[in-house]
Amino acid sequence: MAQNNGQGRISLDDMRPKPSYSQIVANGKKPRHVSTDPQSRGASSEASKGEKEVFDFHPVTKSEVLSSEPLPCTSTSALLLERDEGQPASRPNPDSGPTEGNPRMEFLDFGLSEDTHPQPDVQQLHRRIQILTAERYLAEEKAGRAAERIEEMKRLMQRGISDIDHDTEGLLRDAKKLKEENRILKEQINDAQSHIFSLQPYRKELTPDEVGREYDSLVEGVQDWAQKLMAPFLENPIKGAEEILTVARKRPNEAARFRKTLQQYPDLIQGSMYPETDEDIVAAVIMRFVHDKIFQKILYGSVQDYTRCISVIEHQMQINVEPKRDLFSIRTWTGEAYNALLSAPDFRSVRDRERRDLTIELGNTLRILCPKDRFSWLCENLEENCITPSMKLYEKLQVSTHHFYLDVNPFVMTTSGGDIVRSQDFIENIEKLDCRNILQNRKAFSLAKLDPPPSTKELLRDLLNVCTVVPALYMRQIGRKDAIKEPMIVRRQQMLAAWGSDEKRQKFVDDGDRTVIAQLYFTKPERAEGSFLRW
């Protein structure tokens, strides 16, 4: 045996192959420790302590297979463990050969030789340490690559954030620029719309056909209502005449009011002398009333302060305004001014008041023709069929640029003595009139259809204008640069005429019944003591 150099002495029994710790545990035997001299036991204790620290430091090596009891080892294994503590291990390769030249792996071969045979448990521990060391280096490399990747991602994110900030500033500038362009475009659109609206008419202009249709509707409504009002008297003309006389004696004030109205229109008095004209006379009275009270007054004569102001401005525009305004511009402005007044909320009450007053006034004129207890019914029907349609048509005509108006020419006048004299203008304007021949069952009279054509002398002798029933509707068109056209007839004046000799006219009067209107007008107002008819 060699001299003891402080490394401990190993007996021959310890150099023989011994079963491993796992085999001993599997055989159910307790491990046996070989005791040596004090130095060997001290070295062995230190080695066991080092091994325990290694096992504690690497939790993976703790298993039920490896016991926590100290195992005998050489000084080489103790040195191995001492060098492993506190030093980072290199990346070993278990399959590689000698570790010469690798200072980190020298501890694996230090003190070992071919004659040295470590115990199987120590070899297993060495392999385990090598594997863990390799895994550690792999984990460190992965951690390093992950750290590099994280840094790269940080750089990319910072670069992206910078790009986003740059793009955001650019977008804000573009948004402000687009907003300003949008504002400018809106202003340009508004200016263009204002210019277009200034070139367009403010309202849809009335056409002669449209106005003519509405006027026909008004006339038809008035005539239908007149027939309805006079129907009770005309079912039996003789009895109806007696009834109206009885009513006139019992209600003299109402009869006097009706006579006073007829006195204003000599042609209606003349027309009442011919049979079958009661309905025409009543319709003519209504049309004269709406003509005088509605169509011939500016806004019904209710807001005179405003209408006078408009007239003054219109006059100043014609005379003193520079540059000069043509008549079309003035009429357009006037129509807009009247339209503003008619559209004002305050004018609604004025319109309602005028409608009610006109209805009551016309109802009082015709009150003698209806039962006393049905005056409300009379007013309601007059308002619905006569007054309201007339006011609607008038307001349309008032705001029109072109001048629409009604005109009544009875072609009859009275002398100072009360005699009725016919006008010579009737023959001259016969082609512009809508005449109905009462001697031929209201057949339309036309000179063009007479064969041979009558002379002027024959017309003066044989053609009699009985009365005017419906006024004519005219339109004076206003053009540019003060161009005013001649009045155009939209609807001709409707008249009753008698075409025939004096003998034919007299025979027609003698054969017919005296009209109720004539009975009421020509009979002196007397109060009877009794009557067979109660109203």
pLDDT at residue 359, rounded to an integer: 97
Helix (H) or strand (E) holding 287: helix 278-290
Whether residue 152 lies inside any domain: the answer is: yes
pLDDT at residue 259, rounded to an integer: 94
User: How far is Cα 185 from Cα 122, in angstroms, rounded to an integer?
Assistant: 91
Q: Are 462 and 275 in contact (CB under 8 A)?
A: no
Q: How far is CA 286 from CA 227, 362, 522, in A?
A: 12, 8, 20
Q: Tell which wins on pLDDT, 293 or 71.
A: 293
User: How far is Cα 273 from Cα 255, in angstroms, rounded to an integer?
Assistant: 18
Q: Are residues 460 and 400 in the same domain?
A: yes
Residue 120 DSSP SS3: helix
Q: Which residue has the tokens 């609206």?
A: 197
Whether residue 28 lies inside any domain: the answer is: no
pLDDT at residue 465, rounded to an integer: 92
Q: How far is CA 324 from CA 12, 200, 225, 317, 336, in A?
A: 145, 21, 49, 8, 19
User: How far is Cα 263 from Cα 270, in angstroms, rounded to an integer?
Assistant: 11
pLDDT (average), residues 48-55 = 44
Tell me the one-letter amino acid at 358.
L
pLDDT (average), residues 468-478 = 94
User: How far is Cα 465 from Cα 420, in angstroms, rounded to an integer?
Assistant: 12
Whether residue 483 lies inside any domain: the answer is: yes
pLDDT at residue 191, rounded to an integer: 85
pLDDT (average), residues 88-108 = 45
Tally of domains in the chain: 2
Predicted confidence (pLDDT) at residue 76 exceeds the cutoff of 60: no
Predicted confidence (pLDDT) at residue 287 exceeds the cutoff of 50: yes
pLDDT at residue 401, rounded to an integer: 87
Provide DSSP, 71-91: ----HHHHHHHHHHTTS----
Q: Are residues 157 and 267 in the same domain?
A: no
Residue 272 DSSP SS3: coil
User: Beta partners for 404?
Assistant: 475
Last residue of a domain, one of 146, 164, 182: 164
What is the dihedral sign for C-alpha 17, 22, 24, 26?
negative
Q: Are residues 444 and 308 in the same domain?
A: yes
- Our measurement of the distance from residue 115's CA atom to the centroid of its chain's CA atoms, rounded to an integer in Å, reads 107
Q: Are residues 372 and 495 in the same domain?
A: yes
| Token reading at 495 | 């008249």
Last residue of a domain, one of 130, 164, 198: 164
Predicted confidence (pLDDT) at residue 464 exceeds the cutoff of 70: yes
Helices within 89-207 (DSSP H only): 106-109, 120-199
Q: How far is CA 379 from CA 215, 260, 300, in A?
A: 22, 20, 19
Residues of the chain with pLDDT > 70, as a percent, come to 72
Q: Tell which wins on pLDDT, 373 or 8.
A: 373
Phi-psi domain of 111 (left: phi exceeds 0; alpha: psi -120 through 50; beta: other): left
Predicted confidence (pLDDT) at residue 437 exceeds the cutoff of 50: yes
Segment among 26-40, 147-161, 247-261, 441-455 with least mean pLDDT: 26-40
Q: Tell which wins on pLDDT, 339 or 65.
A: 339
pLDDT (average), residues 126-155 = 90
Whether residue 244 lies inside any domain: the answer is: yes
pLDDT level of residue 254 (50, 70, 90 thresholds): very high
Q: Are residues 304 and 212 in the same domain?
A: yes
pLDDT level of residue 482 (50, 70, 90 thresholds): low
What is the dihedral sign for C-alpha 177, 183, 186, 191?
negative
Residues of the chain with pLDDT > 90, as a percent, come to 44
Q: Are 229 and 367 in contact (CB under 8 A)?
A: no
User: How far is Cα 423 from Cα 414, in angstroms, rounded to an integer?
Assistant: 10
| Token reading at 496 | 């009753």
Last residue of a domain, one of 133, 164, 195: 164
DSSP state of 413: E
pTM above 0.85, yes or no: no
Predicted confidence (pLDDT) at residue 355 exceeds the cutoff of 90: yes
Q: Are residues 97 and 239 in the same domain?
A: no
Predicted confidence (pLDDT) at residue 19 exceeds the cutoff of 60: no
- 165-198 pLDDT, tens per residue? 677 777 888 888 899 999 999 999 988 877 776 6
| Token reading at 512 | 């017919």
Q: Are residues 150 and 232 in the same domain?
A: no
- Mean pLDDT of the chain, nearest integer: 79
Q: Are residues 316 and 381 in the same domain?
A: yes
Q: Tell which wins on pLDDT, 320 or 291.
A: 291
User: Which of 28-37, 137-146, 482-491 ranks highest by mean pLDDT?
Assistant: 137-146
Whether residue 22 lies inside any domain: the answer is: no
Domain extent, residue 396, equals: 208-522
